[in-house]
Amino acid sequence: MQTLEQSLLNNVINIAKEAGEHLKQFYAGSVEIKMKADSTPVTEADLFISHFLTERLQQLTPDVPVLSEENCNIPLAERNHWQEYWIIDPIDGTQQFINRTDQFSIVIGLVQKRGGKNQPVLGVIYAPMLDKLYFAMEASGAFLQENGKIRSLVKTDSTDKAELTITVGSQVHAAKAQNIMAPEYQATFLEYGSGSLKAGLVAEGKADCYIRFGDTGEWDTAMAEVLLNEINGTIFDFNFSPLTYNERDNFINPYFVMVADKSVKWDKIFLFK
């Protein structure tokens, strides 16, 4: 099992930044786009970055398997034996990359088995075009490097706020969220790009929460788990239960909410039942 230490995190940050330089080169030109079986797009940049990250992580930790969104056909029977693994999304927000919004990221996380449960313990989210890098490690704090400066992300207090800022992927999701909120709460909706960057807005305190209606993969949330845990935030599904990792045949998450402050009575705000 990898020891969680600063040198490991620094190495992962450097790998993410190297991948970001490659991604900038793809972004400057035109890329080939194909549709996957689930009708989501994949570009040659996704595949190149996936291969690059996998290769670099295997050099860093030869005994730790790598699970990538673009290379995830590994049966649960095999994955069950993993005590730890890297989980990566080479481009979180491929559609944003294609649409040239700049709001996409490279995400790398480490998941370790603790007491029979798989727990994300280290995460890096790097948006090369925005020059934003979020990073966190279990019990070591959460940080944002932006424009060359690093600052610590701290717990934000959302307690008893009647007006919330909620980040979403689209106006359709905003309307759905409005419909399930208790009437005494008001929301301002902030539309933004990739899921991991919406998690970053929550961690920064620019949004109180991020609500997601629609399928995502475990690679879309693992790094956010680490980031939010370090600021007293959390992620829960529409039953207010935590997300799980590497426990099912597929990697599809239930719909979820990411929150900056887990002490808020979110079940009084979102009436999912």
Q: Is 167 annotated as a binding residue?
A: no
Structure tokens at 50: 């996936």
The helix (run of H) or strand (run of E) holding residue 77 is helix 76-79
Q: Residue 67 pairs with which residues in a beta bridge?
A: 87
Q: Is 40 annotated as a binding residue?
A: no
CB 247 within 8 A of CB 219: no
Q: Is 237 annotated as a binding residue?
A: no
Q: How many Cα atoms occupy the beta-carbon half-sphere of 202 within 13 Å?
A: 34
209: helix, coil or strand? strand
47: helix, coil or strand? helix
232: helix, coil or strand? coil
Alpha-carbon distance 158 to 265, whole Å? 10
Q: Is 150 annotated as a binding residue?
A: no
Q: Which amino acid, 221? A: T
Strands lying side by side in the sheet with 256-259: 186-191, 163-168, 209-212, 256-259, 234-237
> DSSP alpha helices (H): ranges in 153-207?
171-179, 195-204
Alpha-carbon distance 204 to 236, whole Å? 19
Alpha-carbon distance 70 to 56, whole Å? 16
CB 164 within 8 A of CB 171: no
Q: Is 220 annotated as a binding residue?
A: yes
Alpha-carbon distance 131 to 129, whole Å? 6
For the chain, what is the radius of gyration of the CA atoms? 18
Q: Which residues are annotated as a binding site?
A: 69, 89, 91-94, 220
Q: Which residues are annotated as a binding site for Mg(2+)?
A: 69, 89, 91-92, 220
Q: Which residues are annotated as a binding site for substrate?
A: 69, 91-94, 220
